[in-house]
Chains A and B, each alone.
Chain A
Amino acid sequence: MAIDSQVVARVAHLARLRVDDDETGALSERLNEILGMVDQLQQADVSDVEPLAHPLEVSQPLRDDRVTEPDVRDKVLPIAPASEEGCFLVPRVIE
């Protein structure tokens, strides 16, 4: 798959990244290089290789179902741009 300026703009929008119009050309070139390398990887025969979700051959440690976290509300609310009555405030969300 080839990446053009349009795809770059779309992916940037999905990730909420600001990419100026004069940057998309250079970015798509570089992304295409990366995809070229991925294409090369695709040619490797992996028919007898297990898919990898994580590079470490260990499994997830689990914790007991206990409440251990303190209430940090009074520390985090003041660093939010706006808060009121214990809630974070954001511009009105219209669904």
Chain B
Amino acid sequence: MSSSLHNGWEVVIGLEVHVQLATRSKIFSGASTATGDEPNSHASLIDLGMPGTLPVVNKEAIRNAVRFGLAINADIGRRSVFERKNYFYPDLPKGYQTTQLAEPIVGAGEVVIRLEDGTEKTVRIHHAHLEEDAGKSLHEAFSDGMGHGQTGIDLNRAGTPLIEIVSEPDMGNAEEAVAYARKLHAIVTSLGICDGDMSQGNMRFDVNISVRRPGEPLGTRTETKNLNSFRFMEKAIKLEVERQIDVLEDGGKIVQETRLYNGDTNTARSMRTKEDANDYRYFPCPDLLPVLVSEEEIGTLRAELPELPDAREARYVEQYQLSGYDAGLLSGSIATARYFEAAAEHGGDAKLAANWVMGELAAKLNSEDKDIADSPVSAEQLGQLILRLKDGTISSKIAKQVFEACWNGEGDPDAIIEAKGLKQMSDTGELEKIVDQVIADSPAQVEDYRNADDAKRKKKIGYFVGQVMKATQGKANPQQVNQLLQQKLAP
């Protein structure tokens, strides 16, 4: 429970997170999990629930779930049981979803989140279970030609393996919920068990929210379903918290219901809730036997676990001497971490790489709403830019110009520097000539400088540096210019 209050109300949030596992084939059939293909081209007879078919469990889906369990220090279900959750919906051809309930594959565990103010908080995981995804309903495109819309059903997604991660109600505001969701994203993408593409629905969030006065029993909760971005989740939580507080402060009551959030309008509405909608009549699936995971298998998977976000963050602090905050930002997503490490390696300077990734690159990605994996400037190119900065070929001001050109697809940094003639003047003789010229052209300023005391000279030299930089179009090394000027201006 959180201690932070919202206008005197305590907010209690729990999350159910659906994570699509990145297997090649479905959880119970050998149909492909590929997306973007013709509708129903990956809907096998098993996925369609045809009579006479038998599901067989995908080994990799089991292994992926166990990997997740190990990553959050959970008890692994050595024996887990699939059950049938019965309900009727057109995108669920079997009339039930095969899922787990009483004996899930992943038991209680925990995830540590870091908040913006640097504090850490532990979110307890109640359990995580394996289940199959449903198909997709396409509401827009179909009509019977008489003004009556119809719904098209594409079952390519039906049977795609999911793990549903159920947290305890340990989050006290939107920020904590988003930090938790991001941490899960970092964990599953680091494990390589999920592609983590939010736009493709690889991760979907159901948020349970209630409010209460401190010390009172838990309030009635609502569930806002199927949020598919961190930003929408944050907005939906804030909206629902405000709504519940408004209702209660006006003397009303919260109705337990499922709500749908619309990101385009930042509004939510109650889903038509049938009285018996939640009577799923679970029972063990007679088509599937209990799944056993051996100690040996668990040991192997544990030994093979890749570096996880927490360990990566600690390593960045240790190995690269980054601050905890910077290390957290860079290690928070596997894509950012990979990019940063590649740029640091190619550029030979982790601190510069960190500054560029979190600064110029992040700003640019943000303004163009791009993912780091789709960055027009590759990690190798950024590394090259850093090399040229370090060896004095270009100044940091010019580096930004080169970065911009590289972003716009004008080639590698070296090629851009060459083509645009952006190299810093390293030829001291040539630079001296320009310095001499500037001094000769500015007799009044020279007089002024020579009559000033040391402290004032430091300021007054700026005029000459500016003139030299102007004459060299920014290509002179400012330090070198400063040195030369000091020598030559000395009375």
Seen from chain A, the residues whose Cβ lies within 8 Å of a Cβ on chain B are 10, 13-16, 53-54, 56, 58-73, 76-77, 82, 84-95
Contact B25 A67 (CB under 8 A): yes
Q: Could you say which of B42, B142, B260 contacts A87, with CB atoms under 8 Å apart? A: B142
CA distance A23 to B211 in the complex (A): 47
CA distance A70 to B338 in the complex (A): 37
Set of chain B residues within 8 Å of A63, measured between Cβ atoms: 30, 56-59
Contact B30 A14 (CB under 8 A): no
CA distance A45 to B334 in the complex (A): 53
Set of chain B residues within 8 Å of A65, measured between Cβ atoms: 23-25, 58-61
Which residues 50-87 in B have Cβ within 8 Å of A in the complex? 56-62, 79, 81, 86
Residue B38 at the chain A interface, CB threshold 8 Å: yes
Q: Could you say which of A73, A84, A91, A95 contacts B43, with CB atoms under 8 Å apart? A: A73
Nearest Cβ in chain A — how far from B485, in angstroms? 68
Residue B198 at the chain A interface, CB threshold 8 Å: no
CA distance A13 to B88 in the complex (A): 11
Contact B150 A56 (CB under 8 A): no
Nearest Cβ in chain A — how far from B23, in angstroms? 5
Set of chain B residues within 8 Å of A87, measured between Cβ atoms: 39-40, 138, 142, 152-154
Given contacts A68-B25, A86-B38, contact A95 B260 (CB under 8 A): yes
CA distance A76 to B155 in the complex (A): 12
Contact B288 A64 (CB under 8 A): no
Set of chain A residues within 8 Å of B281, measured between Cβ atoms: 14
Given contacts A62-B56, A82-B150, contact A76 B48 (CB under 8 A): yes
Dominant SS among interface residues on chain B: loop
CA distance A63 to B24 in the complex (A): 12
Extra inter-chain contacts (12) besides given A66-B25, A86-B38, A90-B150, CB under 8 Å = A58-B289, A60-B57, A60-B292, A63-B58, A67-B24, A67-B25, A67-B30, A67-B32, A73-B40, A82-B150, A86-B154, A92-B148
Residue B46 at the chain A interface, CB threshold 8 Å: yes
Q: Could you say which of A14, A58, A92 contacts B149, with CB atoms under 8 Å apart? A: A92
Which residues 1-31 in B have Cβ within 8 Å of A in the complex? 23-25, 29-31
**Could you mark each residue 247-274 of chain B with 1 if its beta carbon is under 8 Å from any beta carbon of chain A, else 0?**
0000000000000100000000001100
Set of chain A residues within 8 Å of B48, measured between Cβ atoms: 76
Set of chain B residues within 8 Å of A86, measured between Cβ atoms: 38-41, 154
Which residues 84-126 in B have Cβ within 8 Å of A in the complex? 86, 88-90, 103
Can you give 5 A-B contacts (C-beta < 8 A)?
Answer: A14-B86, A59-B292, A60-B289, A86-B41, A88-B90
CA distance A61 to B43 in the complex (A): 22
Nearest Cβ in chain B — how far from A83, in angstroms? 9
Contact A66 B142 (CB under 8 A): no
Q: Could you say which of A10, A66, A72, A90 contacts B276, with CB atoms under 8 Å apart? A: A10
- Of listed B25, B40, B279, B284, residue having the most chain A CB within 10 A: B40
Given contacts A10-B276, A14-B281, contact A60 B288 (CB under 8 A): yes
Q: Could you say which of A58, A69, A94 contacts B44, with CB atoms under 8 Å apart? A: A69
CA distance A91 to B61 in the complex (A): 34
Nearest Cβ in chain B — how far from A89, in angstroms? 5
- Of listed A53, A70, A94, residue having the most chain B CB within 10 A: A53
CA distance A40 to B164 in the complex (A): 37
Given contacts A14-B276, A65-B60, A85-B39, contact A59 B44 (CB under 8 A): no
**Could you mark each residue 142-173 of chain B with 1 if its beta carbon is under 8 Å from any beta carbon of chain A, else 0?**
10000011111111000000000000000000
Contact B30 A69 (CB under 8 A): yes
Contact B103 A94 (CB under 8 A): no
CA distance A66 to B25 in the complex (A): 6
Residue B438 at the chain A interface, CB threshold 8 Å: no
Given contacts A54-B289, A69-B30, A93-B139, contact A88 B153 (CB under 8 A): yes
Set of chain A residues within 8 Å of B86, measured between Cβ atoms: 14-15
Residue B286 at the chain A interface, CB threshold 8 Å: yes
Nearest Cβ in chain B — how far from A80, in angstroms? 9
Set of chain A residues within 8 Å of B81, measured between Cβ atoms: 53
Set of chain B residues within 8 Å of A13, measured between Cβ atoms: 276
CA distance A70 to B276 in the complex (A): 38
Contact B30 A66 (CB under 8 A): yes
For the complex of A and B, 4 pairs with smallest distance between CB atoms: A68-B30, A87-B152, A65-B60, A69-B44
Set of chain A residues within 8 Å of B149, measured between Cβ atoms: 92
Set of chain B residues within 8 Å of A91, measured between Cβ atoms: 150-151
Set of chain B residues within 8 Å of A95, measured between Cβ atoms: 260, 271-272
Given contacts A88-B155, A92-B149, contact A62 B58 (CB under 8 A): yes
CA distance A89 to B271 in the complex (A): 23
Given contacts A60-B291, A62-B57, A67-B31, contact A72 B139 (CB under 8 A): no
CA distance A73 to B46 in the complex (A): 13
- Of listed A63, A76, A85, residue having the most chain B CB within 10 A: A63
CA distance A25 to B23 in the complex (A): 50
Nearest Cβ in chain B — how far from A49, in angstroms? 15
Nearest Cβ in chain A — how far from B488, in angstroms? 72
CA distance A7 to B290 in the complex (A): 32
Contact B150 A89 (CB under 8 A): yes
Q: Closest A-chain residue to B24, C-beta based? A: A65
Nearest Cβ in chain B — how far from A29, in angstroms? 21
Contact A92 B24 (CB under 8 A): no
Nearest Cβ in chain B — how far from A51, in angstroms? 8
